[in-house]
Structure 1
Amino acid sequence: MPNKLSAEQQDEILQILKARFEKNRHRHQEMEWEKVESKLTSNPEKLWSLNEMEKTGGEPDVVVLEQDKDACIFYDCSAESPKGRRSVCYDRAALESRKKHKPENSAVDMAADMGIEMLTEEQYRALQEVENFDKKTSSWVQTPSDIRELGGALFCDYRFGHVFVYHNGAESYYGVRGFRGMLRV
């Protein structure tokens, strides 16, 4: 059955997530693993999405960025943009517009297929307040429609102690640019 893990796969991803949760308490200081695990086991489709995040190198973990301490939100916490999600253009329209050397996929399509959301610029900046990511890579972020309609797309990275937001043609892709996602459980 698609989008469903076997019992063995569920146990495996839960072990990985628990170990990461315990190792990185600074991301969720007031949250307990038992609460997270309970939410995950009652939402097997979310476990499938987290497994996809893990398989593509995202190293998902719970990060508390909002006032609601009860929210259980996972973000990609890999030091660099997830390896299994790099060398992708921004969206399907950008992918189809390329005449030569098309990448295999787009960030927007991959996120949808995985059942996760790409980060917004605001979420990306908030995540960088918890820990610094993308010191050598960059990540596509959700792009406002007015920019996208003109052929552009936004990406971010962390350099020189600051988060930078840049633009590129949405059809561009680079070996060091991927995307970060988030999942509400």
Structure 2
Amino acid sequence: MATPNQTLTQSQKDTLINNLKIRFEKNPDRHQLISWENIVQKLNAAPLELWSLNEMERTEGEPDVMHYDAVTDEYLFFDCAAESRKGRRSLCYDREALNSRKEHKPANRTIDMASEMGIKILTEEQYRYLQTLGKFDLKTSSWIATSSEIRKLGGAIFCDRRYDTVFLYHNGAESYYAARGFRGALRI
């Protein structure tokens, strides 16, 4: 159940749904054979997820529908901004990474920020799928979900697109850069 600070006013809901509809209609290749009317019904029945979508929108992620899962009857939204957003950059990977830094600690952590927004960061598979629908992170990069095995060794992974190719990299999870952010995913 949504808490009071995770509840949108009717005006906020209307603005968000209008923005989502405009983006949906502007980018039909992202969601072929998906009906906007069905999405609106789902959104209106999911106030907490609508709040999370609003957080994605508020932080300029430009969320859009990417997929419909008929088995679970869920729509999958991804952040579709051309570059990772400024308000979500300069973040180390998680709390463990932040605690390992002795000085010059970043203001926040990717995993924690995504959790506070009610979303998950993209997996490698999701990131690569997103890149089939457009060209993203040509100047920035995005942390992606990292396996526990890599995290136990102190690392984390991120992706970007350069030379018309999607690259997967590794870095210490405690690192943070002005051009590295994250992209979120949300199921509704």
Interval containing the TM-score (normalised by the shorter chain): over 0.9
Name the counterpart of 2:179: 176
- How many residues in Structure 1 have an aligned counterpart in Structure 2? 185
Q: Which runs of 5+ in 1 are unaligned?
A: none
**Distance in 2 of aligned mates of 1:26 and 1:122:** 18
Confirm or deny: 8 A CA contact 2:34 2:68 kept in the other structure: no
* Secondary structure at 1:143 match in 2: coil
**Distance in 1 of aligned mates of 2:96 and 2:44:** 36
Question: Mean alpha-carbon deviation: is it higher for 61-70 or for 148-157?
Answer: 61-70
Q: Which runs of 5+ in 2 are unaligned?
A: none
* Secondary structure at 1:72 match in 2: strand
Query: Which of 62, 66, 71 lines up with 1:63 in the alignment?
Result: 66
**Distance in 2 of aligned mates of 1:83 and 1:17:** 21
Name the counterpart of 1:8: 11
| 1:100-151: CA deviation from partner (whole Å, max 9, x where unpaired) | 1111100000010000011111111111111121011000001111111111
Query: For residues 23 and 69 of structure 1, do their structure 2 counterparts lie closer, same or farther at Cα, with a shift above 3 Å needed?
Result: farther
Is 1:97 paired with 2:82?
no
TM-score by length of 1: 0.96
Name the counterpart of 1:49: 52
Moved over 2 A (4+): 64-71
**Distance in 2 of aligned mates of 1:119 and 1:62:** 14
Q: Which amino acid aligns with 2:86?
A: K
Confirm or deny: 8 A CA contact 1:65 1:127 kept in the other structure: no
Name the counterpart of 1:115: 118
* Secondary structure at 2:39 match in 1: helix
**Distance in 2 of aligned mates of 1:35 and 1:139:** 30
Query: For residues 82 and 67 of structure 1, do their structure 2 counterparts lie closer, same or farther at Cα, with a shift above 3 Å needed?
Result: farther
* Secondary structure at 1:112 match in 2: helix
Percent identical: 59
Please report how far the alpha carbon of residue 55 of structure 1 lies from its aligned counterpart in structure 2 after TM superposition: 1.1
Query: Cα RMSD between the aligned structures?
Result: 1.5
